[in-house]
Amino acid sequence: MHATKLRPAAARDLAREPGLPADIKPNYPGAKAYSSAPANVRSTKTVQINRQAAVDYARQYVFDYNPVYERFGNDCANFVSQSMRAGGWGDVGHGEDDPDKWWQYLINDTLPTHSKTWSVSQDLANFGNNYSHRFRFYAGESTRLADVIFADWENGADGHLDHSMIVTSNVPGNVNDWSEIKVSYHTNDTLDAPMSVVAAKAMENSSHGKPISWLFADSTGW
């Protein structure tokens, strides 16, 4: 089976793009502890993720694209979604492109179909936090394998997430040493990049020194 030809990046309509709650706090070295899960709500986790399976998938396909999935000009969320599925996330819906759905499948092995939540970082984060609770945003706590890091770096920190990465390495218990938190991602395909380097390069490339926000998501949710 041959990989589907590269598709252009999906056009974004920022005015209509679903937003995340305004009180979600970004993470940074030294950040105070924070969790997006309501303190008075008991965990209702219904999806357990095999973190190692998700990381193993990411390592296998970060450079050698899996031919059963379509590719995009901006492929980061597609890659993260594939990794989450490999770790145990099940599809939600089948054909609907609503913010509470998340799915991808192939028709006759040639016509891939997917929800926007599968392929766009903002929509993926919105699905994971607002609808499915498969993501729990946090700060000031240890980052674990297969957690997902979202970047808000275009036009400064404007509340629209532009990039997503999967954590593929970290020292157990490490919170603040971003040189040990390593991420892998598509679009400028990269394996085990230290977050310290990713953050420094992002600031170098930031237009006019505008701020950048990093949102860390626990992939087991709440």
- The helix or strand, by DSSP H or E, that contains position 76, with its residue range, turns out to be helix 76-87
Is residue 17 included in any domain, yes or no?
Answer: no
Domains contained in the chain, number: 1
Give dist(CA 28, CA 156) in Å, integer: 16
CB 195 within 8 A of CB 216: no
CB 197 within 8 A of CB 186: no
Is residue 57 included in any domain, yes or no?
Answer: yes
Is residue 2 included in any domain, yes or no?
Answer: no
Is residue 9 included in any domain, yes or no?
Answer: no
Is residue 111 included in any domain, yes or no?
Answer: yes
Those residues whose C-beta lies under 8 Å from the C-beta of residue 118, and which sit 6 or more positions away, are 77, 78, 81, 102, 103, 104, 124
Please give the model's pTM, rounded to 2 decimal places.
0.90
Q: What is the pLDDT of residues 73-114, one digit of tens each?
A: 899 999 999 999 999 999 998 877 899 999 998 665 555 588
Is residue 134 included in any domain, yes or no?
Answer: yes
Extended strands (E) in 38-144: 71-72, 104-107, 111-114, 136-139
Range of the domain at 114: 24-37+45-218
Give dist(CA 77, CA 176) in Å, integer: 25
Is residue 7 included in any domain, yes or no?
Answer: no
pLDDT at 209: 66
CB 166 within 8 A of CB 54: yes
pLDDT at 159: 79
- The full 3-state SS of 171-205, as one line of letters, equals CCCCCCCCCCCEEEECCCCEEEEEHHHHHHHHHHH
Give dist(CA 50, CA 64) in Å, integer: 22
Q: What is the pLDDT of residues 148-198, one digit of tens each?
A: 999 998 776 777 899 999 999 999 999 999 999 999 999 999 999 999 999
Is residue 14 included in any domain, yes or no?
Answer: no
